[in-house]
């Protein structure tokens, strides 16, 4: 690597000038032209533009700085301390900051960005996007209403954006302005709120009746398996199915079983290999906050 810099900058300033220049480029969030870089410099380091361009090109040759094509037909060459991949990464994240795009649209919009970049073509761009998805820098979004095409965004899927898109499409289909749907949307919101309140009320009733249900679980154990004695296990699946007919929901059942175990009124039998079960079979087990799956229960 060539470390010699040939400029007319005084030797006593050259070393510090290079450090100041590189630090300024490091702090930039996007490639800059020589003129833009000069505007960021102060004091004795604000060299004439021609000298600054010469110094930048020397750093490009030495591999410390990367150059990028100018913007527009008469755009000046731009400089940055990050390579092509980092440049495209940041370009993609800016483009998807407040929206999502199908992969084909994202590739089309980035084609101009990769022009002239060393080592960057559409194949490399596709590979980079796939890597960003795998890393979690990009998120896959489900298709919008009426579409079958998945999308990519810099954020996880945003329900608000789906709703806004759906409202525009419904308004277009009905031949009205989106604002005309506001009363209907408010009614839907009210209905959802009322449903949520009803669920909370039902949950509260379950919790208020929790003590009686504890006794009911123990009673049902005796009814289902008359031969049960302290320490004899009863399959939780069998117990759950017997109580479901009486209106007990699974979340309440799980909570009561775990509460009984926490109060040392019952002992639970853990399943050693829940991963070998189907999803449907696992759903009928009782799972504690630590991820333990329980298959049996016994009175203490």
* pLDDT for the residue numbered 208: 46
pTM of the complete model: 0.50
Measured CA to CA, the distance from residue 200 to residue 195 in angstroms comes to: 9
Q: What is the pLDDT of residue 3?
A: 47
Same fold across 11-80 and 208-299: yes
Q: What is the CATH number of domain 208-299?
A: 1.10.10
Closest among 49, 57, 46, 39 to 17, alpha carbons compared: 46
Task: Please check whether residue 5 is in contact with residue 18, taking contact to mean a CB–CB distance below 8 angstroms.
Answer: yes
- Helices 236-244 and 250-262: crossing angle in degrees, nearest 10, is 130
- Can you give the pLDDT at residue 77? 82
Q: What does CATH list as the number for 11-80?
A: 1.10.10.10
Looking at residue 186, its pLDDT comes to 86
CA distance 89 to 42: 30
The domain segmentation of the chain, as residue ranges, is: 11-80, 86-153, 208-299
Q: Is 86-153 in CATH node 1.25.40? A: no
DSSP conformation letters of 58-94? HHHHHTSSEEEPPSSTTPPPEEESS-HHHHHHHHHHH
> Which positions of the chain have pLDDT values less than 50?
1-3, 206-212, 222, 226-228
């Amino acid at each position: 690597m060539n470390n010699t810099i040939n400029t007319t900058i005084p030797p006593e300033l050259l070393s510090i000038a290079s450090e100041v220049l590189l630090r300024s480029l490091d702090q930039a969030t996007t490639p800059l032209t020589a003129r833009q870089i000069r505007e960021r410099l102060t004091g004795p380091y604000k060299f004439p533009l021609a000298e600054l361009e010469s110094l930048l090109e020397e750093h490009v040759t030495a591999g410390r700085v990367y150059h990028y094509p100018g913007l527009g037909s008469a755009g000046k060459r731009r400089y940055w301390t990050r390579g092509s991949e980092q440049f495209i990464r940041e370009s993609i994240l800016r483009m998807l900051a407040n929206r999502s795009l199908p992969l084909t649209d994202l590739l089309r919009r980035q084609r101009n960005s990769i022009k002239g970049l060393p080592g960057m073509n559409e194949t490399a761009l596709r590979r980079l996007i796939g890597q960003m998805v795998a890393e979690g820098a990009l998120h896959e979004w489900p298709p919008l209403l009426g579409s079958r095409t998945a999308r990519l965004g810099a954020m996880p899927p945003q329900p608000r954006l789906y709703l806004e898109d759906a409202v525009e499409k419904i308004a277009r289909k009905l031949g009205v302005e989106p604002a005309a749907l506001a009363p209907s949307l408010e009614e839907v919101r009210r209905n959802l709120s009322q449903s949520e309140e009803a669920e909370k009320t039902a949950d509260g009733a379950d919790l208020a009746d929790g003590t009686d249900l504890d006794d009911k679980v123990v009673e049902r154990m005796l009814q289902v398996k008359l031969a049960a004695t302290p320490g004899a296990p009863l399959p939780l699946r069998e117990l759950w199915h017997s109580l479901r007919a009486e209106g007990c929901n699974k979340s309440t059942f799980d909570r009561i079983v775990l509460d009984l175990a926490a109060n040392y009124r019952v002992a639970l039998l853990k399943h050693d290999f829940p991963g070998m079960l189907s999803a449907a079979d696992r759903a009928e087990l009782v799972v504690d906050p630590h991820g333990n799956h329980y298959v049996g229960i016994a009175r203490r």
